Structure 1
C-alpha cells in the first residue's frame, strides 16, 4: 500500500504519516516549505522499520502536482491511497477587506489544488483507467459547516467547497473502485492554529464552543483518517466524518 499525503510535514498530515507507516503503508510525504520537518518525519519512519520519502511540491501549482505523483510512484510504487491534507488559512479577513490575490491563493490550494490531486489519483486508481482502485481522504474543516469563526468566512467557504466536491466526486468514481471521504476536524492543535491557541484566554474561549470543552489533537484526527483509509470502512464513501469533539455549542458553561 502506497499512501501519498499532501501537506505531510506537520500537523495532521505528519501525524497521519507516522500512524500510516506504523500500520504498514509506504508513505510519500509532500511538503512545500517545511523540508526539514518532512525529512524528520521520514527519518523517524525509516528508523522504525517503515518506508517513506519526502517530496517537494506546491499543490497550488498544477505542474507540481503532476511531478509529485510521478515522483511518489517512482520511489514507492503505484499510489493506492491519497490524503489531501495540504491547506492554508488565508489569514483573517472580513468580506469588506477581501484581497483578490489572497482569495485566489486560498482557493487555489484548498480547493483547486485538492481537486487536481484527486484528478491525478483517479487517473491512476480508477479501473476505468486500468487501475485497481483506491481510497482518497480529503481533510476539510468544521468551519465549513458554520461559516467559520470571525474573519474566516473565506477559509470556511473553501472547506465547504471541499465537502461538496467530495460527495459529488465519490459518486462519479464509486463504480471504479475508488472510495472518497471528507474528514472534518474541529479546532485542532497544529502549526496553523498554534498562534491562536497560545493565548490562554483565547484557547479557553475556543474550548468553550466545543461540546467536549477542549481542542483536538493531531493524532486523534489521524486515527479517523486511517479508519477511513482502511478496509474496515469498505462500504463508506461520499460522506463527511466529523472529528469535532461533539460539535459546536454556543452557551456559557
Structure 2
C-alpha cells in the first residue's frame, strides 16, 4: 500500500473502539505515527499491537475526559512531547449519552451531551492548533447523519450537537485556511459494530434502518476510516469546510 502519511503524526480522540479505532488503524497503515485518547473504552492490547505493527512504532494511548480543559491541554502537550508536531487531528469523541425527549431533558443532561460532542472538538482543536503544522495540517471532525435529519426519537440534544459540529467545521475551515490547515467533517449514518448502536439501538430498530438503506447493508467503521484517510492525505489538500456523508444512500443534501 502507498504510504500516504509517512512521517506524519495523527491524534485520534476516542480512538479506543469503533470508528475511532478504525481511523487510527487506517492512518497507521498509511504510515502515520498515531496517538489515541480514550475514557470509557480503552484500546485493547490487540488494537495497540496492530497499531504498532502498522506504523512501525508503539502507539501512544492517553486516558482523559475530553470535556475537561486541563486534561485535554495536558494530553496534547504529552503527544507533542512524545511524537512531535501534529499533522492530523481527528475529533472523534462523541456520543448520545442518553436518549431523552424534550420533556425528559434537564439542563445538566443537555449540557453534558453538548459538552461531549462539541466542547471536546473545540478543546482539542484549540490546544492542538499551536502544534499543527502549517501548509498541510488537517482537522477532521466526526459528526453524524443525525445532524442533518434530527436522528431517532430521544436524540434531540445529540442531533443539535452534531449540527453544531457542522457549523464549527465550516467556521474553523475559513479561519485556518490562510495557514494551509484544512478542516472537514465526516457524517456517518448507521454504522454497526460501535458502542453507540450496541447501547442505544434495539434489534428491531437496527433491522428497520438497514432495510431502508439503498446500499443494502449497514456501514462498518472501515467505511468511515477510508474517508478519513483521504481527508488526511495530500489528495484532499484543496478540500476544506466540507461535510462528507457516509450513509449508503440514506440521505442526500
Q: TM-score, normalised by structure 2?
A: 0.91
1:188 equivalent in structure 2: 191
**Matching residue of 2:56:** 50
Task: Identify which range, 60-69 or 47-56, moves more after superposition.
Answer: 47-56
2:14 aligned partner:
7
SS of structure 2 residue aligned to 1:245: coil
CA distance in 2, matches of 1:175, 1:248: 32
Tell me, in whole angstroms, the C-alpha distance in 1 between the residues paired with 2:234 and 2:250.
27
Name which of 113, 123, 126 aligns with 1:116.
Answer: 123
Alpha-carbon distance in 1 for matches of 2:129, 2:33: 19
Instruction: Report which stretch shifted further, 177-186 or 48-57.
Output: 48-57
Residue of 224, 228, 233 corresponding to 1:230: 233
Work out the CA distance in 1 between the residues paired with 2:81 and 2:115.
26
Summarize the alignment of residues 1-253 of structure 1 with structure 2, pairs less than 5 Å apart: 1-35=8-42, 37-48=43-54, 50-51=56-57, 52-125=59-132, 127=134, 133-189=136-192, 190-196=194-200, 199=203, 201-248=204-251
User: Does the 8 Å CA contact 2:142/2:187 hold for their aligned counterparts?
Assistant: yes
- In structure 2, distance between residues paired with 1:97 and 1:58: 25
Determine if contact 2:32/2:55 at 8 Å carries over to the other structure: no
Structure 1, unaligned stretches of length 5 or more? none
Q: What SS does structure 1 have at the residue aligned with 2:86? A: coil
Deviations for 1:178-205, whole angstroms, at most 9, x for unmatched residues? 1000110001011211245562x32221
Distance in 2 (alpha carbons) for counterparts of 1:160 and 1:223: 22
Q: Which runs of 5+ in 2 are unaligned?
A: 1-7
Q: Is the 8 A contact 1:209 1:248 kept in 2?
A: no
CA distance in 1 between partners of 2:52 and 2:124 (Å): 26
1:225: how far off?
A: 0.7
Cα deviation for residue 39 of structure 1 reads: 4.4
Q: Secondary structure at the match of 2:80?
A: helix
CA–CA distance in structure 2, aligned partners of residues 197 and 96 of structure 1: 21
